[in-house]
Amino acid sequence: MSDNFILLESDDVLLLGEDTFKVSKIEQLIRQNIKEKLQRHIYEYNSFHPGASMLEFLSSIPICKTKIDLAEIKHEYIKNCQVLRSSGQGWEKGKLKVEIQILPGNNYDNQNDNQINLKFIPDEPIECEAFLDEIFQIVSDNPINERK
């Protein structure tokens, strides 16, 4: 997977299969889905272990006499998509990378506890070298002494 990703803005538009969404709407749907799934799992877990939530259950891992506390649970999902960015470059093909970070000790009702990043990885690499060459050419054509 390429390291050349673009962090999507809330007004960017994504085409996923046959569905089109603003990035802000996708983030809202992901948060809603996480909340519903956690509520369902917490209900199922509480019926067997009353008083403990699934996130509390996942918050640490005992290994012999040592306990490892989990600071976060991360999920990454990759999906083919097209994006229409607010910068107005037209539809671009690539992959959507959804990164979800869940903090086990926090309350799932708080929308700020779960961090969601939507990144776009274009199929065609981002061309910065041509732009940098152009800047270098401008600078070399106009030395500092001549610009005064």
**pLDDT (tens digit, 9 = 90+) per residue, 81-139?**
999 998 777 899 999 999 988 776 555 455 456 789 999 999 986 665 555 666 777 77
Residue type, 45: Y
| Contacts for 114 with CB less than 8 Å, ≥ 6 apart | 31, 34, 100, 101, 102, 103, 108
Q: What is the pLDDT of residues 6-18, one digit of tens each?
A: 899 999 999 999 9
41, 35 Cβ separation under 8 angstroms: no
What is the C-alpha separation between 26 and 121, in angstroms, rounded? 17
| E strand segments, the chain | 6-7, 13-16, 19-22, 60-63, 66-69, 73-84, 91-102, 115-122
